[in-house]
């Protein structure tokens, strides 16, 4: 039985005094401000919603699947390559689950700790310092994970023109050591400009350049613009071969002319080098005084080193990226195959044959894997004698 109550117990309470209302309202506003500061994402809800709706759906893959109708081998190989995983939502990469529950002390800022958590289908990071905590979601993952994965968030500084700014997260996952460490270029000594609490700030131009090298298209409006709704992530068929609509229509009609803007080795070695170098870098992108064989960062920029090599300059246009690499596939680790390619030239009368090791060991001496800075190891494409 319910306990009986007298009518007096249902009388409304007297209204609060104006002073009390002001006090309560002030307290609520302060707490709301603290909550927004701690938990509001670095990008606007508009960007996050468009991002999730677009990149979270497989529709962008249909363009490459059309190519698979006639090129199933290349399509299957490409699916396992680094080119097919250059950009993703952070929540969708394997590293996100590896990071879940992990924490790391900031290597340079004493007393700063970063803790990662996978919550409600999203990757978050907490920055803890002096008893204070700031939480941010992580939106984009750049890189296939074969070497590293770097994270970036849009800040939507100019949403009307689709030219947002961004913040590159301070820490990167490095696959070689399976650790989280400072993102290349963000060491305090080498990053005096554009710092933020969570990483390096990029303006609209810098942000677009990041996306242009990790996507097949940033916007229907062309380079320099970023439109999530029309963005085509990853390096797909059309990024290297050019627009293929006419090619597909001709193939389905049974026409004999199936030419594409680029491909089938019709281009010269320099033309191919410049296509790959749009993202892998070209000599003109590097200050002249930095193009030295002892500069570790150049090992990340393969075309720059290769174009300095005598093997390239004296090859009469025969040495190109595809001499050694199939761009549809993940980079091969077959050293014997690479060395067989070397011997095609260096065991002929017109080329000098190595006096030290005529049959094998070419790469160990002339193209070794060297540190490229910030826990990265890359094959040095500046082909030269061991003392060079």
pLDDT band at 213 (very low <50, low <70, confident <90, very high): very high
Q: What is the DSSP string of 14-46?
A: PPPPHHHHHHHHHHHHHHHHHHHHHHS-SS-HH
Q: Is the pLDDT of residue 32 over 70?
A: no
pLDDT at 333 over 60: yes
**Residues whose CB is less than 8 angstroms from the CB of residue 329 and which lie 6 or more positions away in sequence, other chains included:** 77, 78, 80, 81
pLDDT of residue 229: 77
Q: Quote the pLDDT of residue 277.
A: 96
CA pair distance 219, 225, nearest whole angstrom: 6
Which alpha helices (DSSP H) does the chain contain, by range?
Answer: 18-39, 45-55, 62-68, 72-79, 94-99, 204-212, 237-241, 245-253, 269-280, 302-306, 310-313, 321-324, 335-346, 362-366
Q: Among 69-73, 80-84, 87-91, 372-376, whose mean pLDDT is lowest? A: 372-376
The confidence score (pLDDT) of residue 59 equals 45
**Taking 90 as the threshold, does the pLDDT of residue 308 lie above it?**
yes
**Do the Cβ atoms of 227 and 198 come closer than 8 Å?**
no
Confidence of residue 22 (pLDDT cuts 50, 70, 90): very low
Residue 370: CB atoms within 10 A of its CB come to 15
Model confidence, pTM = 0.81
How much is the mean pLDDT over the chain?
83
- Span of 47-56, 307-316, 372-381 with lowest mean pLDDT: 47-56
pLDDT digits (tens, 9 = 90+) for 183-199: 998 988 766 555 678 99
Report how far residue 253's alpha carbon sits from residue 261's, in angstroms, rounded to the nearest whole number: 19
What pLDDT is recorded for position 160? 53
């Amino acid at each position: 039985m319910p306990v009986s109550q007298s009518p007096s117990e249902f009388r409304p309470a007297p209204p609060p005094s104006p002073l009390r209302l002001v006090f309560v309202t002030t307290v609520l506003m302060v707490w709301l401000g603290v909550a927004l500061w701690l938990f509001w994402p670095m990008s606007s809800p508009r960007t996050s919603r468009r991002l999730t709706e677009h990149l979270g759906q497989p529709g962008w893959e249909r363009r490459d699947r059309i190519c698979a109708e006639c090129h199933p081998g290349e399509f299957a190989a490409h699916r396992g390559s680094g080119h097919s995983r250059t950009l993703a939502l952070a929540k969708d990469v394997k590293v996100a689950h590896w990071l879940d529950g992990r924490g790391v002390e900031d290597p340079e800022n004493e007393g700063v700790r970063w803790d990662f958590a996978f919550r409600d289908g999203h990757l978050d990071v907490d920055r803890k310092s002096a008893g204070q905590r700031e939480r941010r979601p992580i939106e984009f993952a750049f890189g296939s994970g074969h070497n590293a994965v770097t994270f970036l968030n849009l800040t939507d500084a100019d949403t009307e023109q689709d030219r947002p700014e961004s913040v590159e997260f301070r820490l990167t996952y490095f696959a070689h050591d399976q650790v989280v460490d400072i993102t290349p270029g963000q060491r305090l000594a080498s990053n005096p400009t554009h710092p933020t609490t969570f990483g390096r700030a990029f303006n609209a131009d810098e942000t677009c350049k990041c996306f242009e090298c990790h996507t097949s298209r940033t916007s229907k409006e062309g380079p320099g613009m970023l439109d999530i709704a029309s963005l085509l992530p990853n390096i797909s068929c059309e990024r290297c071969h050019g627009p293929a609509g006419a090619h597909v229509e001709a193939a389905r009609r049974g026409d004999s002319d199936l030419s594409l803007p680029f491909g089938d080795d019709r281009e010269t070695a320099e033309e191919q080098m410049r296509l790959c170098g749009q993202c892998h870098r070209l000599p003109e992108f590097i200050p002249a005084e930095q193009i030295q064989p002892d500069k570790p960062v150049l090992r990340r920029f393969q075309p720059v080193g290769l174009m300095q090599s005598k093997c390239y300059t004296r090859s009469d246009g025969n040495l190109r990226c595809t001499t050694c690499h199939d761009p549809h596939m993940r980079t091969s680790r077959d050293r014997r195959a690479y060395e067989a390619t070397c011997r095609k030239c260096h065991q002929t009368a017109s080329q000098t044959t190595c006096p030290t090791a005529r049959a094998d060991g070419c790469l160990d001496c002339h193209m070794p894997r060297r540190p490229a800075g910030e826990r990265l190891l890359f094959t040095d494409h500046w082909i030269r004698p061991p003392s060079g």
